[in-house]
Structure 1
Amino acid sequence: MTSTSAPAEEKRGSFSSRRVFILAAIGSAVGLGNIWRFPYVAYENGGGAFVIPYLVALLTAGLPFLFLDYAVGHHYRGSAPLSFRRIARWAEPLGWWQVGITFVIAVYYAAVIAWAGRYMFFSLDQAWGGDPEAFLFGEFLQAGDPGIGFDYVSGVTIPLVLVWVVTLVVLALGVQRGIGATAVVFIPILLVAFAALVVVALTLDGAGTGLDALFTPDWAALTETSVWVAAFGQIFFSLSVGFGIMITYASYVDRKSDMTGSGLVVGFANSGFELLAGIGVFAALGFMATAAGVGVNEVATDGLGLAFIAFPTIISEAPGGALIGVLFFGSLVIAGLTSLISVIEVPISAVRDKFQLGRVAASMAVGLPAAVLSIVLLGTTTGVYVLDVVDHFINQFGILLVAVVSMVALSWIFGRTRLLQRHLNRTGSVRLGAWWRWLIGIVTPIVLTFILVREFIANIEEPYEGYPGWLLGSLGWGLCAAVILLSIPLSLLPWRRDVDLSDPEPLETREGRA
């Protein structure tokens, strides 16, 4: 490695310790999907029996791919584009593809955090009244017909601006003073707040009914392919793997850190939080079902319906509802912010590496356009439809596809998995063998490809949510294609002159010189 590399690496910033990195990685992994997606996915796919395919997916796909992301970032010491460029000249577009995906996610993810922030205050006086659904789509979002509209909703736009201000301030402060310090403070608060929510939910009448509905095993479900597909999909999406986040974070970690041990902590902490979320959410849904005199299956839902319709109903009817609301929506805000910070850090790190920008300049260069797009597209009367379409397609056909391509490329085209395995084994407390390369090179790509094909056929046969073709074509299929196509010209732009594009020195060489 040339002499310019060490100073350049110092300028990028770093986490002060392995503990800070782990907290930051947990903050990225634990997001909105853990709270509002996992409980319903488990309930719909075998209840207690879902634990088996879930653990299989975690051990055979989630953790192995997390190790791969860690290895790429930790060995090649760069953002996603720089790390892939150091692997091979024609690998760089993979990094920019991941950058494009994270930029798109950041644009709409901020809106949900803004909504949760408003609802945290709405909880104090149950501002949604007797019909939370009508309030959400009517008075609050003022949702019109699906389409691109520019009628701004002040109740959404103002908190959206605040979310972006907080996010950009944190990112401008740097890796340790911003991202690391935020994780050190926010993750313990999130754990305490959500644990308190679970305790309160468990005291509600009917909580046991909800837990029975969630955990009663349906062993017959294990024979259904869709259940295993759901398990792999949930693990993959919830760990923040495959689209540059963990590559970027791992590049900020000291070279002698135990990356495989860190991966186990992050992976199981993420799954533990999902289990905690399942208990809290279904205890509350059990109360809602009991109060309404209906089955849990009639009130169970996920996503926006769970957060902004079901929970407001629970808050209005439950004793201590205001406390439940503040804890639930406050948890969404904290989980969302730590994830948003990690998502937008991916393009910021890439821009810094490529164009020699300082931390503040890069944060503004990436963050301000993202904030403007977020406000223009999501702060309007049609924002909820834009969010729904973009989220569905960028997750199903953006993240999954780039993950499959990356695994195949690293395993079979560029042949780097053996080198990455050796790198992780040098300091890792969990040693990886040939089994890891087989999982990364064959098993996981096959499973994810199956999911991709399955989702593609489903979306062709029946247009998503019945939305108009032009909306699905532009913000769905078109946006996914645009992210791929833009990665090529971005990879052709010249790198700044002080960046060493060669493979970094092996760790043992550095230690030998020391």
Structure 2
Amino acid sequence: MVDAVTGHCGVVELSTETAPGESAYADETDRQRGRFSSRRVFIMAAVGSAVGLGNIWRFPYVAYENGGGAFILPYLVALLTAGLPFLFFDYAIGHRFRGSGPLSFRRLSRKSEFIGWWQVMVCIIIAIYYAAIIAWAAQYTIYSPGKSWGADPESYFFGDFLNATATPEFGFDFVGGLTVPLIIVWLVVLVILAFGVQRGIGATSVVFIPLLLVMFVVLVVQALTLPGAFDGLNALFQPNWSALGDVDVWLAAYSQIFFSLSIGFGIMITYASYVGRHTDMTGSGAVAGMANSSFEVLAGIGVFSALGFMAQAAGNGVDQVASDGIGLAFIGFPAIISQAPAGGLIGVLFFGSLVLAGLTSLVSIVEVVISALRDKLGMSRIKATGLIVVPIAVISTVLFGTTTGLPILDTLDYFVNRFGVLLVAIASIIAVVWLIRATPMLQSHLNRYGSIRLGLWWKALIGFITPVVLLVMLVIDFVTTVDEGYEGYPGWLIGIFGWGMVVGIVAVAAVLAMLPWSPKTSLEPPPPELDEPVESPVGARQETQQ
């Protein structure tokens, strides 16, 4: 991640030499913050952020529960009417204003800086628990060849592996099998982020994403050879056209798209700020969005092929074995691995894929925080990485390296995603589109070099359709949670790690927005004319094609 050039008080991440295809101009901000070496590397990094745990263990079940093959229609509609428009929205802010979330919003309007810090706080909370799941997957990758979970994967996971307490509580009984891999995960993240934008994030993505694809394709091929595989595929893709008349099915499609594209909480704003000025951002966004969706469909094929085998082996229907989330990954798949031919290989491929997908996503989440700290305080990459990763890693280990971590993880994931990510996404649209009225400027910026031209359709989607859908999702989740609670967890757990966390991150964001910026950081937006090519028209066209 570090491109090995010194700046401020330490290492900076961009060579003073102009990258091939870039204009001769590279401003001081880019030299200090770092930059991806090419559009291809940026797309790889964006795909690495988007393709995460949810693609593998959430999409297949969501599709199955919401119309099977018929779900593809609302899914594509959601991608085209909300997912890609919001992705372009994030790209435009980061690419035009050349900063982290807080700095980009500050350069857009002084009063909108708070939104950027809200996104940063959401990322901190997600990072704290996301690392724990990656650590579990890493352990299960090692366990797979020997099938260490034995004949009862469920008892093993909750008992021998997590040593989970019978009732939700908070304690400091550490479990070595949880703590050690969690520390290793954070050390890997620390090293990647310390190397900087190109040599860390970019280089890791260029290696991990193709490797992830190869591993998952091999897993899918292996799963398709299992007895009963096509029963699983039939269960997944058999269309239930009547489901298209159910509003909940359409909301499920929008929810899946929104949470799987890494949009709305600062990641794509940060990544877009590391991209050359003359890059085709709309074309890049379309590639990243389609790649993410293609991987989800591939995951559905692999997961339901395996579930079909499991159902046949147990003499049950697929509906009786289908699940998602932690239950699918750490209970359902170990049961499949124990019975399947070449089960050990399937286990290594499946859990190894979770590790790779999770790591690239975790790196992007933590980079949002590091980038914001560097911009705010004018820090070097190395210093900011240490000041962010070490405390987050300690908190993560204390919470999830113990016997009491699972209910806390479950509660944080539910509340921060639904009432943190959704709220800040809606707030960003209201601020940028309706209060600051910056949509025409952002549209003009993306159209300067974009291969997909944004027009009235984009303004309508980002200004009306997307916020309305997000607001409906938010209200439904809020009413349901208030009426029914969550998973029967006690009030103290919901109060501290649920609603308390949702309110707390907003309060902390407000405080951070009031702190002064480093004199080293310019709060003035880059002049629009800097986006114009400084070479001949032929040179400009060549840059656009990259």
TM norm. shorter chain > 0.5: yes
In 2: Cα distance, 1:223 partner to 1:509 partner: 46
Match of 1:455 among 477, 497, 503: 477
1:499 partner amino acid? T
Helix, strand or coil for the counterpart of 2:27? helix
Equivalent residue, structure 1, for 2:539: none
Deviation of the 1:507 alpha carbon:
3.9
1:272 match: 294
Among 8, 21, 37, the alignment partner of 2:42 is 21
Give yes or no for contact 1:8–1:498 (8 Å, CA) kept in 2.
no
Per-residue CA deviation, residues 368-393 of structure 1 (Å, 9 max, x unaligned), is: 11100100001110111111000000
1:132-143 matches, within 5 Å, as 132-143=153-164
Q: How many residues align?
A: 511
1:180 paired to 2:195: no
Question: 2:215, 2:341 → 1: CA distance?
Answer: 18
Partner of 1:391: 413
- Post-superposition shift, 1:503? 2.2
Which residue matches 1:256? Answer: 278
Task: State the Cα deviation string for residues 135-166 of structure 1 (Å, max 9, x = none).
Answer: 00000000002121110011000000000000
Find the counterpart in structure 1 of residue 263 from structure 2: 241
Instruction: Give the aligned partner of residue 61 of structure 2.
Output: 40
Instruction: Show structure 2 runs of 5+ residues with no match.
Output: 1-7, 9-25, 537-546
Distance 1:172 1:493 in 2: 25
Q: Distance in 2 between matches of 1:296 and 1:511?
A: 57
Question: 1:469 matched to which residue of 2?
Answer: 491
Aligned residue runs from structure 1 range 12-411, under 5 A: 12-144=33-165, 145-411=167-433
The residue identity in structure 1 corresponding to 2:137 is A
Q: SS at 1:465's partner residue?
A: coil
Letter in 2 for 1:217: P
Following superposition, the deviation at residue 238 of structure 1 comes to 0.1
Q: For residues 323 and 33 of structure 2, what CA distance do their matches in structure 1 show?
A: 42
- Report SS of the residue matched to 1:466: coil
TM-aligned CA distance change 1:218 to 1:509, over 3 Å: closer
**Counterparts of 1:165 and 1:291, CA distance in 2:** 41
Alpha-carbon shift at residue 345 of structure 1 (Å)? 0.2
- Pairwise CA distance, 1:327: 0.2
Separation in 2 of the partners of 1:512 and 1:231? 43
Gaps of 5+ in 1: none
Counterpart-to-counterpart distance in 2, 1:253 and 1:393: 32
RMSD over aligned Cα atoms: 1.2
Query: Whole-Å Cα distance in 1 between the matches of residues 170 and 271 of structure 2?
Result: 35
Distance 2:34 2:236 in 1: 44
Q: Deviations over 1:182-213 (max 9, x none)?
A: 00000000000000000000000000000000
TM-score (norm 1): 0.98
Identity of aligned pairs, percent? 62
Which residue in the other structure is 1:415 paired with? 437
Q: Is the 8 A contact 2:278 2:533 kept in 1?
A: no
Matches of 2:354 and 2:365, distance apart in 1: 16
Query: Within the alignment, does 1:428 sit opposite 2:446 as a pair?
Result: no
- Name the CA distance, whole Å, in 2 between partners of 1:508 and 1:377: 47
Following TM superposition, by how much is the alpha carbon of 1:9 offset from its aligned partner in structure 2, in angstroms? 2.4
1:129 partner SS: coil
**Counterpart AA for 1:309:** I
Q: 1:229-256: CA deviations, max 9, x gaps?
A: 1000000000000000000000000000
- Separation in 1 of the partners of 2:178 and 2:531? 54
**Please, which moves more after superposition, 489-498 or 330-339?**
489-498
Q: State which drifts further: 300-309 or 140-149.
A: 140-149
Query: How big is each residue's C-alpha offset from its partner over 1:441-470, in whole Å with a ceiling of 9 and x where there is no partner?
Result: 111100110000000000011110000011
